[in-house]
């Protein structure tokens, strides 16, 4: 399996280095023959090549089996004419990565204030209110006058159908419970269509329990009793907000994995930003990117029907859970380790299985 590795900005190179160490341990244990091909992205690429994403990277990623993207300084990149391309948006749009899969769960050793839970938010990833990706050309946000802005929200039947089926398939592998999050009482046409399509899609999955919740009410429900949810499906912006909330409820945004998935490609991406204020201090939590790459391995295993990649993904998740239970974590979640040391701890737990 060939993975293109793009370390990113801020803490990106640090958590990427920790994650690649874990991947190499998993590759050795499960004979994955992983080939990691690293390239500059973000500010490093802008300095070297005059653009945050050089054009030939897209072809490299398309030819590879997966992409690992470290956090990038998205807010810094405002003018594409000057090479300031948003790397996350660029790959999501050009690879048509329509589903953002965001698991959130609690861990032994880090008890949640709201009890134990294990859920997944499946977020539509290519349209909605996201002005930089919901138009074929141009931008979906318009400055009509200096004092008037109009933001266009695109909702299409095809995008609703494919995210609905992706969420249903995932729910059938888990506890067979799907919750549709929407605002169809106000956004009657757009969210009304999304809700109807999700309900219709769910009929194709026998035994799947389906309910729906208004997005504002969902924020109250999920902080009251997150254990009552299994797979949650939502449009882009609602899913973006909800997935950050559920990850934080598990103990930290840094504990949430994130996989962007299309029909042919997938991109592992940390759920958080580049945190330039702590860059270079060896204090960043690498778990989000580690778990994201585990999701990437599982996706590749299912796609290629190679069970060892799915086994490796579960082993990485188990090693992370063991490290957390043992208190071998970074300071943000109660430990004393640095970024590199926590990555090494997870890798060592994988190596220990080899020796056992």
Q: Is 216 among the catalytic positions? A: yes
The pair of structure tokens assigned to 328 is: 């071998």
Q: Which of 107, 130, 230, 309 is catalytic?
A: 130
Judge contact between 103 and 291, C-beta under 8 A: yes
The pair of structure tokens assigned to 131 is: 């002005």
Q: Which of 65, 191, 230, 240 is catalytic?
A: 240
Question: In whole angstroms, how far apart are CA 245 and each of 92, 197, 240, 315, 340?
Answer: 22, 25, 9, 26, 27
Q: Is 240 among the catalytic positions? A: yes
Q: Which of 183, 191, 230, 309 is catalytic?
A: 183
Distance of CA 11 to the CA centre of its chain: 17
The pair of structure tokens assigned to 25 is: 């341990």
Distance of CA 78 to the CA centre of its chain: 23
Q: Specify the residue for token string 């592998």.
A: 173
Q: Which of 212, 244, 318, 332 is catalytic?
A: 244
Q: For the chain, how big is the Rg over CA atoms in Å?
A: 20
Q: Which of 56, 116, 211, 216 is catalytic?
A: 216
Judge contact between 119 and 231, C-beta under 8 A: yes
The pair of structure tokens assigned to 49 is: 């090549």
Give the residue numbers annotated as catalytic, written as ranges. 130, 183, 216, 240, 244
């Amino acid at each position: 399996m060939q993975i293109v590795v793009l370390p990113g900005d801020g803490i990106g190179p640090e958590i990427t280095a920790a994650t690649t160490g874990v991947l190499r341990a998993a590759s050795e244990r499960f004979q994955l023959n992983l080939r990691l091909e690293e390239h500059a992205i973000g500010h490093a690429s802008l300095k070297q090549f005059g653009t945050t994403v050089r054009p030939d990277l897209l072809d490299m990623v398309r030819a590879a089996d997966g992409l690992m993207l470290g956090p990038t300084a998205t807010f810094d990149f405002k003018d594409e004419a000057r090479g300031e391309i948003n790397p996350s948006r660029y790959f999501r749009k050009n690879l048509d990565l329509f589903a953002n899969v965001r698991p959130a769960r609690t861990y032994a050793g880090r008890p949640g204030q709201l009890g134990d839970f294990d859920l997944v938010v499946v977020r539509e990833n290519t349209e909605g209110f996201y002005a930089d990706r919901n138009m074929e050309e141009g931008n979906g946000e318009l400055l009509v006058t200096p004092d008037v802005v109009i933001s266009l929200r695109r909702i299409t039947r095809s995008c609703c159908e494919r995210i609905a089926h992706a969420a249903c398939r995932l729910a059938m592998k888990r506890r067979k419970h799907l919750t549709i999050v929407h605002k169809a009482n106000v956004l009657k046409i757009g969210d009304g269509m999304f809700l109807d399509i999700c309900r219709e899609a769910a009929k194709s999955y026998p035994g799947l329990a389906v309910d729906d919740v208004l997005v504002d009410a969902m924020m109250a429900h999920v902080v009251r009793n997150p254990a009552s949810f299994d797979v949650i499906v939502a449009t882009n912006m609602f899913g973006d907000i909800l997935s950050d909330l559920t990850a934080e409820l598990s103990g930290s945004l840094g504990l949430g994995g994130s996989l962007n998935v299309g029909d042919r490609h997938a991109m592992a991406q940390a759920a958080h930003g580049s945190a330039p204020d702590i860059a270079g201090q060896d204090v960043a939590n690498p778990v989000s990117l580690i778990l994201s790459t585990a999701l990437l391995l599982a996706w590749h295993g299912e796609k290629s029907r190679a069970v060892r990649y799915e086994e490796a993904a579960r082993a990485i998740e188990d090693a992370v859970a063991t490290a957390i239970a043992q208190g071998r974590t970074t300071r943000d979640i109660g430990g004393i380790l640095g970024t590199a040391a926590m990555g090494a701890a997870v890798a060592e737990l994988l190596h220990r299985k080899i020796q056992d």
